[in-house]
Structure 1
């Protein structure tokens, strides 16, 4: 019974939480966190508050006072690897809790990686998302024996402005690092805090808090980017390339991701807020705007005309944006071949997920993860038939003609000599023919 659940999908969170954020600049309310265990709510011990395992689902009650009245928000957080039963239970348990409070609380569903700002803020910058679940979760953090067998773990600390910081476990390798953030590396005997040259104070403070929470009996070493020891590199499989440059430029703005699609006929662009790697859809085209450069990410299943319209849009967007940017290059990327300068903007990027995007011939290819291909206006629209020639055979393949060939004018992409052999006239003479006659001749040679 009770009031109808006020369930809010992740997309609508911005509206709900904007109001909450404005009213709750004070985050000194009380946080109670439960984990879903055997489909019941089990409160997590104080030392584990703010820690979330991606194999579990949780219910969090935030109680605060406004105008001398108690107010409540119930968040239910669902890990990406949590079972369907647990996710469903988190929603039901939230509803029960809501009933217990006579339907007063606001209910908010939180999907892992899309945490709203206020949710991050109530944990005071100490929110950590870890791999694993249930069984592995309750190792007491001071119980070294059990902990030491865990080997090496690395965590990515990223802030989105004051006290909106979260930390997510990432791959333990050099390419996961980037100069804009902090990372916490936990080895069996030692804890390292790696501070990127462009990391802000919030990130440095959160990294110190997270290290303190997870350290057990390990000692902590703070490393500034560039001062890494041999031990640090060997713990993550050796020194390697990672994204550096752009975080150190003077004008750093928050990156923005847009989903570009042509479902409605024309091209539409929709901004994706609080984006993660899961937002990259393999049959569409996405645009990542980093202010100093723009990336057009092409899913393997995206249509070629869709890629073309997207590149046109991106070039126009980069050139005519009223936000004061100077020369802003546009790069085209194929899904699965993302360079560090792109992946660094996605918290805890997963290479295995990216590898699954690659289709067909590209699979075994060693296309390097370079910065992508810089594009200019000559790279969009149909190729100019005067300067781009193809063989008759290439042009005859139905629906598979070479990329960016104008399907209505395939014959113009033939060499003059071949054209004359096939049609018995020059291109200029052919152009003077009546349309029906042109079409009949093209059909005969499978060029229509």
Structure 2
């Protein structure tokens, strides 16, 4: 990009109008503006993962991991997310978040620190300005359980999240279907409306109230948020209750609690508040401005309107791309002056003020060579000038060495399996490993020679031991096979509690769903992790003869490689990867045209683990006839030329099309995966040369009809001037072609068929087990809603997250205005004694299973534990209905109770 010649068509704004927050307070931050100020960034890690700081007395203060997702309205925060992508090294995004009650000084300090942090990381990160309540989808995607806005800030002394603190009374207003936000509101019925969800948090109990017009997905997201509060802030010991706003009479005890806290409700609740967030997919009006200073004034000169072309950008200048006021993007040329680069973010804020745009307008700032995918999509054509490697090669102020791509200090953990993992990489994976398999509901040690081999019909426990500060630390992974039975999944959770108790509660427990293995889990098996789709690894077991077996190998080194069994059909191949085809006589090592040398090396190493037979290397396009015969014949597979490049010219984008809010909307899904395909909606996948419309089986007719029109409108209004005749491909759930699935990593062809399959046998096409599957997401365990008195029990439950697997004492309801929940005897809580028929008080099974008489809740007879189970839990544990159980002989009843741990 060459230097440009200035035009006379200029529009000046004064500096005071353009950037008052920085200029007027610059003298307060003179030390911060110093080039030598590196102290603030000593805690910054360049490893993949999430890091957060808040501004305290104009200094960056790290936020502990347990506080991630909690934002105080009086503060400003800096959020750094570093990701590792295939072929392109690392990329970084820096966000600075502005609380609605934060001071101008804090906002100014945060803006300066963001600029300096950008320079410290070599100038390649994309900078984002986030305003409370209007955060970008990318920002929200970091916090899988949602954002919680809290009152106060540094000045009030409330600056961290404590664990096991129960002196809490607050009302959270929850909004969002994909990325949830929860804001503290007045603890009053006046805060409620019929369209949203509210969490009444009373410390030892959390009551979720679902508005009449809220939908299933919103309710699930709110449940996950409530569980997250329970697990992170209450040590897993709080109880969760559920009230349906349209059926409050079904939850009389909970309504008594809510009334005691909120007062008697008078009148009707407010109607649903519509979501006025602009439609992100159809902001098509784009203008490009050249921004510079002239005699102390900020000058903004219009360069072009859509469609934009890349040659409009010149390396010696800075530009603003204005997407119709919905977002403002700043591009910094690599030859622009240091002052211009530093002022880029502040100029964007000044531009927003000068244009009278809302303060919540999204802002992104990027350096030449480090453009975001969204920015590139604004241009008719975009060509990268070579591939950057790691942070800092595009812009070398920070003089950052090439980042090691395999060793990680820390990374964030995903709290729920349906969303992409954010796990801590606690060390270099050189610690000790011990593996057990669940056999007959008991622990069976796995032969170390088979460590790393996981079968989809089994559940495993993996204990990892490492040293930190001369002290042993533990991580306990609970790996759940896709085809494991309900009993095995339950036993896995139960045995994890036993191991946790054996180590005095020291292990960090991580629930791992098949196919969602976190980075550290991959690393501890040193490039030998193999996931078999079905069957069992039990000694002596005979698995069904699968004939030829096909494994997809992904990874570039021993710390990030795994082999996943896929359907042995030609359609499973992908030109970007290495595949192993194992037959009775030979093992083919198939190299796709798009795989790297490192991937081939790891594929070769994996083949030695999978097969002792002769190996034959097969290059894509040179397959022998026997290869195709083993796969059942040739068939189309993901081999599009676009996929052969490490960085496609235009990254694919996924949009959710839904009218569940009463208005048809298209919302972009950031960093998408197969689990983001919602069965109740229509999804639009833009791969640039075609548009896919994916229709979930439960999508309504209106959504399907509108999606066609929206796809056409999307092309017509696209800022890059797209061809309106671009093919639009209609794809139904369960019938996805390889040209669609090839854009998703580790596509699971049985994902949705498992939902409707009740076969619990250990076959490759078995059921998904007894877990609860979130919409479009992987299997998880159902949430627990239990309280002494039986009213917090909307559905059967089995153990869920590690924190819920602890034995929890029953609690009784104190209906005082403080609404605190305190442990007491059943009598004190006014509970009803259970009858032999099972009516009255129901308890969570975890309080009853495998407990000695002294460990049972008061009022529970050791030989009558089953009487305290709900009907659904009774059938789930004992395998028969309560009336049928009563008709069995006594010895048979006792036998069933013994097997269920109720004797």
Question: TM-score, with normalisation over the residues of structure 1?
Answer: 0.65
Query: Which secondary structure state, in structure 2, belongs to the residue aligned with residue 189 of structure 1?
Result: coil
Q: Which moved more, 1:47-56 or 1:324-333?
A: 324-333
Match status 1:306 vs 2:711:
no
**Contact 1:162 1:202 (C-alpha < 8 Å) held by counterparts:** no
1:6-155 → structure 2 map (5 Å cutoff): 8-11=415-418, 14-15=421-422, 17=423, 20-21=424-425, 23-24=426-427, 26-134=428-536, 137-138=538-539, 151-155=547-551
**Which structure 2 residue ranges, 5 or more long, are not aligned?**
1-233, 238-413, 757-903
What is the match of residue 746 of structure 2? 347
Query: Which secondary structure state, in structure 2, belongs to the residue aligned with residue 211 of structure 1?
Result: helix
What is the match of residue 735 of structure 2? 337
Deviations 1:22-55 (A, max 9, x none): x43x121222221111111212112211111111
Matched residues in 2 for 1:125 and 1:325: separation? Answer: 45
**Contact 2:681 2:699 (C-alpha < 8 Å) held by counterparts:** yes
User: Per the alignment, do residues 204 and 303 of structure 1 end up closer, same or farther by CA in structure 2, a change over 3 Å counting?
Assistant: same
User: Per the alignment, do residues 232 and 306 of structure 1 end up closer, same or farther by CA in structure 2, a change over 3 Å counting?
Assistant: same
Q: CA deviation at 1:158?
A: 2.8
**Contact 1:126 1:210 (C-alpha < 8 Å) held by counterparts:** yes
What is the match of residue 283 of structure 1? 680
Query: Which secondary structure state, in structure 2, belongs to the residue aligned with residue 10 of structure 1?
Result: coil
User: Per the alignment, do residues 147 and 104 of structure 1 end up closer, same or farther by CA in structure 2, a change over 3 Å counting?
Assistant: closer
Q: CA deviation at 1:72?
A: 1.4
1:157-176 → structure 2 map (5 Å cutoff): 157-159=553-555, 163-176=559-572
**Contact 1:259 1:272 (C-alpha < 8 Å) held by counterparts:** no
User: Per the alignment, do residues 27 and 114 of structure 1 end up closer, same or farther by CA in structure 2, a change over 3 Å counting?
Assistant: same
Question: TM-score, with normalisation over the residues of structure 2?
Answer: 0.34
Query: Which secondary structure state, in structure 1, belongs to the residue aligned with residue 491 of structure 2?
Result: helix
Q: CA deviation at 1:269?
A: 3.8
User: Per the alignment, do residues 179 and 36 of structure 1 end up closer, same or farther by CA in structure 2, a change over 3 Å counting?
Assistant: same
Matched residues in 1 for 2:432 and 2:690: separation? Answer: 43
Q: CA deviation at 1:68?
A: 2.5
What is the match of residue 576 of structure 2? 180
**Contact 1:343 1:349 (C-alpha < 8 Å) held by counterparts:** no
**Contact 1:13 1:116 (C-alpha < 8 Å) held by counterparts:** no
Higher relative contact order (CA 8 A, sep 6+): 2
User: Per the alignment, do residues 282 and 30 of structure 1 end up closer, same or farther by CA in structure 2, a change over 3 Å counting?
Assistant: same
User: Per the alignment, do residues 271 and 183 of structure 1 end up closer, same or farther by CA in structure 2, a change over 3 Å counting?
Assistant: same
Q: Which moved more, 1:100-109 or 1:113-122?
A: 113-122
**Contact 2:556 2:602 (C-alpha < 8 Å) held by counterparts:** no
Query: Which secondary structure state, in structure 2, belongs to the residue aligned with residue 55 of structure 1?
Result: coil
Q: CA deviation at 1:288?
A: 4.0
Q: Which moved more, 1:63-72 or 1:155-164?
A: 155-164
Matched residues in 1 for 2:687 and 2:431: separation? Answer: 36
Query: Which secondary structure state, in structure 1, belongs to the residue aligned with residue 421 of structure 2?
Result: helix
Deviations 1:254-283 (A, max 9, x none): 86656554333353747486834x654433
Q: CA deviation at 1:161?
A: 8.9
What is the match of residue 621 of structure 2? 226
**Contact 2:441 2:491 (C-alpha < 8 Å) held by counterparts:** yes
Matched residues in 2 for 1:77 and 1:32: separation? Answer: 13
RMSD: 3.8
**Contact 2:452 2:530 (C-alpha < 8 Å) held by counterparts:** yes
What is the match of residue 295 of structure 1? 692
Matched residues in 2 for 1:346 and 1:262: separation? Answer: 28
Match status 1:262 vs 2:659:
yes
Q: CA deviation at 1:60?
A: 0.9
User: Per the alignment, do residues 343 and 71 of structure 1 end up closer, same or farther by CA in structure 2, a change over 3 Å counting?
Assistant: same
What is the match of residue 241 of structure 1? 636
Matched residues in 1 for 2:465 and 2:622: separation? Answer: 44
Query: Which secondary structure state, in structure 1, belongs to the residue aligned with residue 511 of structure 2?
Result: strand
Matched residues in 2 for 1:341 and 1:187: separation? Answer: 27
Matched residues in 2 for 1:202 and 1:320: separation? Answer: 42
Matched residues in 2 for 1:274 and 1:350: separation? Answer: 17
Q: Is the helix fraction higher in 1 or 2?
A: 1
Radius of gyration: which is bigger? Answer: 2
Q: CA deviation at 1:353?
A: 5.2
Query: Which secondary structure state, in structure 2, belongs to the residue aligned with residue 263 of structure 1?
Result: coil
Deviations 1:58-104 (A, max 9, x none): 11111122233222111101111100010011111111111122212
**Contact 1:50 1:126 (C-alpha < 8 Å) held by counterparts:** yes
Matched residues in 2 for 1:79 and 1:237: separation? Answer: 27
Q: CA deviation at 1:168?
A: 1.6
1:196 to 574, 578, 592: 592
